[in-house]
Amino acid sequence: MAPPAPPGNTPGQARVFWHQSHRDHNPGAGHPESPARIAAILEQFASSPLNDHVTFEEPPPVDDVLLSRVHRPAYLRQLEAVNARGGGQLDADPVCAGRRTRVCCRPAARPPRNCG
């Protein structure tokens, strides 16, 4: 006998956590992460038999206590500082675009608080 599914899970179903604002993540030309890639993935799901086995959900909010379990507080402060400056590049891979930085700062966690 199989163990019971965790709360919120349905056997045979995959849960995909995402938010519409993820479409705004665009690190620039030539980078594999792009709004076009997200659109293509969603289109493939919509036309695939797998779509019947996937539930798309908006993730619950997270706070700094939870984030600090996987990220150093200094890193979270760095992300907030980049956001306060209107965005920028954290390293060789540009991930923060200013107005949408909460997406990178709290990935898949909630819409950016400064999302217009």
Which among 16, 34, 18 has a CA at the least distance from the CA of 26? Answer: 34
Is the pTM above the cut of 0.85?
no
Banded pLDDT at 109 (limits 50, 70, 90)? very low
Cβ contacts of 12 within 8 Å, gap of 6 or more: 53
Strand partners, 20: none
Torsions phi, psi for 69 (to 5 deg): -75, -20
**Whole-number pLDDT of residue 62:** 84
Banded pLDDT at 8 (limits 50, 70, 90)? low
Q: Could you report the per-residue pLDDT of 81-92, keeping only the tens digit for each? A: 888 887 777 766
* Mean pLDDT, the chain, integer: 74
C-alpha 4, offset from chain centre: 28
HSE, CB side, 13 Å, CA atoms: give it for residue 43: 6
